Chains A and B, each alone.
Chain A
Amino acid sequence: MANFFPRWMNTLPLKVAVCLGALGTGVVGAVTYYATPKYGKVGYMPAQPVPFSHKLHAGQLGMDCRYCHSHVENSWHSNVPTTETCWNCHQHVKKESPRLEPVRRSIDKTYENYDGKPIEWVQVHKLADYAYFDHSAHVNRGVSCVSCHGKVNEMTEVYHAETHSMGWCLECHRAPEENLRPLDQVTNLDWKPEDLDREKFYGDLLAKGAEPDTILSALGIEGAVATDASGLATAAANVFGDKATQKEVGPVLKTLWNVNPPENCAGCHR
């Protein structure tokens, strides 16, 4: 009986398997990288019709986010400002700048190219249509802008900082304490828990009617006794160190404010 198959064919299955394996790994790797929000969304930085710098306005000038995004606390949609909002200042400041040409075109009735049409900003953050995100539910309950949008006050041009994938949403919905902060700091993008004045923080909570024992148990401190703000601050300092951390602030706020983000489908999908 003749040898139908040459000897090199003995290793062929192995070679094929190795090649297919490599190919498979490559495909899986490529898909996990390229077909996920990390690749598709993070870093997306489209050019805007007006090169508006958040770094200048929100960072250097220290304007509050809500000056322009005025309805963020009232609506699911955080509105992009009307041209009128820009014009409030810019009719006095840098009115003639060529970079503001689209603004003048839209609002300045004395401008020769005035057409009254709105400015068409390019959308950076976009959720799928079947996901119903609500800004007001978040910013009113101690979730800062920075948690989802990154440090916009340091961005010259706004880019997509986080993945905004469903898994990413759920991470926080399962452990909201990692992103809670006092309400007056929600639009302060530079806030760090270390900046916290403990006595004032606990004093405010107690003034709102919180029980010291509740706070202590939220902090997970056993055995300590505290009746006022300074007592609480001391107890917390004993456990968490001199500076406050998110591990201290988050659980307290979560317990006192009763923060229980929905984890079922109907929370975001209808």
Chain B
Amino acid sequence: MKRTWQHPEEPASPATLTPEGGETPAGKHYWRSLSELAETRENIDARDSEFHGSPGKSEESESSRRDFMKLMGASTALAGGLAACRKPTLLLVPYSESVEWIIPGKALLYATAMPRLGGCTPLVVTTHEGRPTHVSGNRLHPEVGNGNDGIAQSSILDLYDPERSRNVLNKGERSSQADFSAAFAEIAAGIKKSNGEGSAFLVGETSSPTRDRLLKEVATKFPQAVFYRYESINRDAVRKGLSDATDGKTDVSIVPRFEKAKRILSLDCDFLGLDSPSTNATNAFSKNRKVDDGGAAKMNRLYVVEASYTVTGGMADHRLPTNASQVATIAAALGKTFGLSVESTTKLDEKTTKWVAATAKDLQAHKGEALVVAGSQQPAAVHAMVAAINDKLGAFGKTADLLNRGNDPVPFGTLGELAEAIGEKKVKTLFLTTEADPAYDAPGDIDFARFLGEVETTIQLSTRSLSATARAATWHVPAAHYLESWGDVRSAEGVYSIVQPMILPLYDGLTEIDFLLKLMADPAPATDPAEGETVVSDSEATPGYEAVRATFAEIAEGDIEKAWNATLRDGFLKGSSYKASNAKIALPSGKGGFPAPTLDAMEIAFRPDFKIWDGRYINNGWAQEAPDPTTSLTWDNAALLSIRTAKALGIENNGQMLKVEVAGKTAYYPAMLAPGHADNSLTIPFGYGQGEDAGFIGSDRGFNAHPVRTFASPYLTMGAKVSVLTADEIIDGEKVIPANYDLATTAEHNNMYGRALVREGTVDAFEKKPDFAKKQGMDAHIPENVSFYKSVDQDDKPLLSDPHHQWGMTIDLNQCIGCTACLLACQSENNIPIVGKEQVMQHREMHWIRMDRYFATAEPKLDKKTQDAGANHEWTEMSADHFENPEMTFQPVACQQCESAPCETVCPVNATVHTEDGLNSMAYNRCIGTRYCANNCPYKARRFNYFDYNKRPIDELYRGPFSTKEKTGVAETHKLQKNPNVTVRMRGVMEKCTYCVQRIQEGKIEQKRIARDSDKLRVATGAVRTACQDVCSADAITFGNLLDDKDPLVKMKASPRNYDLLNYIGTLPRTSYLARIKNPNAEIVALTGKAIGEISSHIH
């Protein structure tokens, strides 16, 4: 008979039991999806079947006779080949001349920076014999200490994207460098002659001093040229608002200092997520979330006002779901409490007014320690108001700095002004160096593709040739990836970094700097045909490099050569931050505000997509497959809406198609039910819907949000009429809009049945009973774990086989913001493949780290008895109030490295065994794929290679060896990214996290190299860092050696908040979690009648 583990029945009504600690537990319930909450029959069936899904829907289910013959032929050939098999001759190819720094087989690290909107992400890039394989944060950087984000992590895959622009295009057709050079020389000469008249530049938003210097030079050289700046996601409103509030100054910027703030109010600002140029905000914010060592009292408090859940909202102590259009009203109401008066056209309801008052009171009480931030998608008026409030709060100089970032090098016009100029036939030659794709992502009321067509000559420099602009431009020129470029960039607070190349441009791309230099260069002297010899310069320095050095010489002081080398090595120039600004804040008069949206005239808020930003990363498989932190959606975007609105519209499932009509435009988006969303509001992440020619990964993904945007209000559209499609709709006579669209969400995958996995409490509860997390759920009922195995031998010596190292990990849920950067860092470090949308829908995603996102609400009022009897419940039976403002918590789960691992005992071939240093190791070459181990893993941490994901294109997985190799899913360039120290797994092999065993081995061997003839084999404290730990900007992951007393891990494990997942089943996991602590404001708790972060359910 099959024996199954009987998890003890949890008492039905925990609230009736009194805990030992004297706390009255609130009946709080954690769930990951609506159907899990309701325990629908479908959900129960899915979680109870160990491996989800049917044998698989195959894109080619029946193999033809021809295929059969091919297969037979292939196997015969193989058999014949084997018989004649000889040892293959393999070559060892050293360099001809030794290369500086390179030790074959050893990784080489270089510091650089990734240019981002409003700053940069400082990076340290791992290269193997000249191939960059992994990026991590630059811990030396004074502004951005630790880690980085998912976009920086996946950017390395873009470098190797086989479909990145590699050819010059002329009117969308492939052309040659020679043709372009000839045409370009002619254009440049023409411009020179006319002093730039009729020429315009459309540049992107970057803080590169060299780029700015060159633009200035261009402006001097071609005085008639006009400059415009465009990014679909920009900081125009931030700049405008600040300029309004500082009496028209244009050189001021505000840099928040979260590490000094005790009270933070975010007005629709996702500063922990997409609204920061790098992870400096997360770094700084999480410093004040550490609660051990008496830190609970010093903990900061975060208030968030936002429409749809973001990772910042997830960290909030108090979150107020509000329409994006009403944030301005709240800002005005808040300003009023500080004596700042702006006329507002709309009124707040009573509850919100009280919430704002209580928040304002708390901020007032912490003058000099409080900070208010506003999202860059909010209009300028909000930013002006927020600057004024911060001024009143005494924030400047304390929790925020007013810095002088200098004026723009040349005055920039907007995209709207450019369109106007084109309309007036003022532009004959247009240079586009913005990485945005204006022909696709310009707001719907500017048909920029048409305008592009009206310009005589357009020259676009971009890394993407599969974009609408590249196709529409007269000339498209491949741009270099930042990892192949010489350049420079300033961070948000002005710290200067050099962007240095890791590799020669793979596809001969130019940088923006090269491009501008080329334009300004004097025409090359015609080579004498009689000699016919090309002159090779001795200097290997490229013009781009020279230009950056020239800029550097202006910025740095002292010995330039020395400073240059130090900057290259450290990744930043010391003392290069912006100086403080002497601007005075004064609130401009004005009035604003939008009417509150209604069900008939809804608002649509547009936000950057967490995966692909503004769409420039759409052809990046890692980015596409990483689940959105809050919605768990992969491979698509969708319109998020609240449960109440969904009910009112009659929506029951994710993916039901919405028809959105606004100002004469119609668009369709699949609905995504988003608990905690504001009512009568849609949030649509943009960047998706780039059509059928956006690359192998990016084609036909998601839905285009731009048609319903407007130039005047780019991130908010009011008065949208939204209805649900009841049947498929055909538009333009051919295109079919399905009434139901399949969305691949991972929220229900690898379900662990709840069971008090996430544990949290409040500051008060923690102070009263610090170890509240230890005895929750089943852990409250079990006796102490007793092992039948002895831990000591007959001489009382501990039976630890490795006396130097025993590895362990803690994950602090109080720090984790759920940004999924760890999941992507793991993917990059451990050669984890992507599987494609269809496979994700079959629960087959391969990420070793699963980011579980939990919503927490009061215990649902469903009758469990009828549930057990087989009645099928739906979440729709629950009141919409239930979903109005749930709390959100994140929990990353990977292999827990159990000391007594259930997976090891069932492996028939000993492919997964325990190591002396406490790892649950995987010998991939031994695995025969029985999947018993995954079946027996209580944490659902193992992933199985159902297909040769590393070998086959993801759309032809079912075709096996018949898949077409030339397809780009398995491009040669992708192989360059692979980490040489990790096996690339094949079909039929189980895989999972092993604490980055390759890094552990490297650390241990390095120590042996140092130890030589001594016995000091213990690796130095902190010498081994896992990829996830390294990337975590919130410092949530601590990895280390349990036997090393100095290791921070030992301290973390000793924390009273420390608890094991599923402790009662006795697996003794090496990874443990630290309970989350919230810091609520009693006044608001009383107001909402809800105990935020109250000790979670099932405490006894």
Contact = CB atoms under 8 A, between A and B. Distances in A.
Do A and B pair up? The answer is yes
Contacts of A256: 1013, 1015
A66 interface: no
Interface in B952-1002: 981-983, 994, 997-998, 1001
Interface string B87-106: 10111111111100001111
B87 A44 contact: yes
Contacts of B1015: 256-258
B1017 A183 contact: no
B797 interface: no
B865 interface: no
Given A132-B981, A257-B1013, A266-B921, A80 B105 contact: no
Nearest to A136: B1009
Contacts of A123: 89-92
A214 B1008 CA distance: 21
A122 B1005 contact: no
B926 interface: yes
Contact of A122 (B90, B923, B1013): B90
B925 interface: yes
Given A75-B104, A141-B1008, A118 B94 contact: yes
Contact of B91 (A77, A121, A132): A121
B96 A122 contact: no
Contacts of B91: 120-123
A130 B1008 contact: no
B105 A270 contact: no
A267 B997 CA distance: 9
B983 to A, nearest CB: 5
Contact of A73 (B93, B919, B1009): B1009
A142 interface: yes
Contacts of B919: 266
Given A264-B913, A264-B921, A270 B983 contact: yes
A85 to B, nearest CB: 7
Interface string B906-947: 000011011110010111111000000000000000000000
B94 A122 contact: no
B97 A142 contact: no
Contact of B1012 (A74, A106, A120, A141): A141
Contact of B105 (A71, A118, A128): A71
Contacts of A83: 94-97
Contacts of B537: none
B1014 interface: yes
Contacts of B94: 79-83, 118-119, 121
A130 B89 contact: no
Contacts of B1013: 142, 182-183, 208, 253, 256-257
Interface string A67-102: 000010111110111111100000000000000000
Given A44-B87, A136-B1005, A266-B994, A76 B97 contact: no
Nearest to B983: A130
Chain B: interface secondary structure?
loop
A77 B104 contact: yes
B92 A80 contact: yes
Nearest to A266: B921
Interface in A95-113: 106-107
Contacts of A84: 95-98
Contacts of A75: 103-106
B992 to A, nearest CB: 12
Given A71-B104, A74-B1009, A130-B983, A265 B97 contact: no
A270 B831 CA distance: 12
Interface in A254-270: 256-258, 260, 262-267, 269-270
A82 B102 CA distance: 12
B468 to A, nearest CB: 43
B1007 to A, nearest CB: 10
B981 to A, nearest CB: 7
A116 interface: yes
Contacts, number: 147
A73 B1006 CA distance: 10
A270 B998 contact: yes
A195 interface: no
Interface in A224-270: 253, 256-258, 260, 262-267, 269-270
A267 B1001 CA distance: 7
A265 B923 contact: yes
B147 to A, nearest CB: 24
A46 B86 CA distance: 13
A253 to B, nearest CB: 8
A77 B105 contact: yes
A121 B93 contact: yes
Nearest to A265: B923
Contact of B1001 (A82, A140, A182, A270): A270
A270 B981 contact: yes
A262 to B, nearest CB: 7
Given A119-B94, A266-B994, A140 B1008 contact: yes
Contacts of A116: 96
A270 B830 CA distance: 10
Given A81-B94, A117-B96, A269 B1014 contact: no
The listed residue with most A CB atoms (<10 A of its CB), out of B89, B923, B924, B982, is B923
Interface in A111-152: 116-123, 126, 128-130, 132, 134, 136-137, 140-142
B381 to A, nearest CB: 56
Contacts of B93: 118-121
A92 B911 CA distance: 55
B121 to A, nearest CB: 29
A134 B1005 contact: yes
A40 interface: yes
B994 A270 contact: yes
A116 B1009 CA distance: 34
B982 A82 contact: no
A194 B831 CA distance: 49
B508 to A, nearest CB: 21
Nearest to A115: B96
A64 to B, nearest CB: 17
A130 B989 CA distance: 13
Given A107-B97, A122-B92, A265-B921, A140 B1014 contact: no
Contacts of B1005: 76, 134, 136-137
A140 B96 contact: no
Nearest to B89: A122
Contacts of B87: 40, 44
A270 B1009 contact: no
A38 to B, nearest CB: 14
Contacts of A106: 96
Contact of A126 (B90, B98, B1009, B1017): B90
A265 B96 contact: no
Contact of A264 (B97, B98, B915): B915
A79 B915 contact: no
Contacts of A121: 91-94
A115 B981 CA distance: 33
A119 B1009 CA distance: 30
Contact of B97 (A46, A82, A126): A82
B89 to A, nearest CB: 6
- Interface pairs A-B: 6 shortest CB-CB: A77-B105, A266-B921, A258-B1015, A265-B923, A75-B105, A123-B90
Given A75-B103, A132-B981, A269-B925, 8 more contacts: A71-B104, A82-B98, A83-B95, A123-B91, A257-B1011, A267-B915, A269-B921, A270-B982
Interface of B: 87, 89-98, 103-106, 802, 910-911, 913-916, 919, 921-926, 981-983, 994, 997-998, 1001, 1005, 1008-1009, 1011-1015, 1017
Interface of A: 40, 44, 46, 71, 73-77, 79-85, 106-107, 116-123, 126, 128-130, 132, 134, 136-137, 140-142, 182-183, 208, 253, 256-258, 260, 262-267, 269-270
8 contacts: A81-B94, A118-B93, A121-B94, A136-B1009, A137-B1009, A260-B802, A266-B915, A266-B994
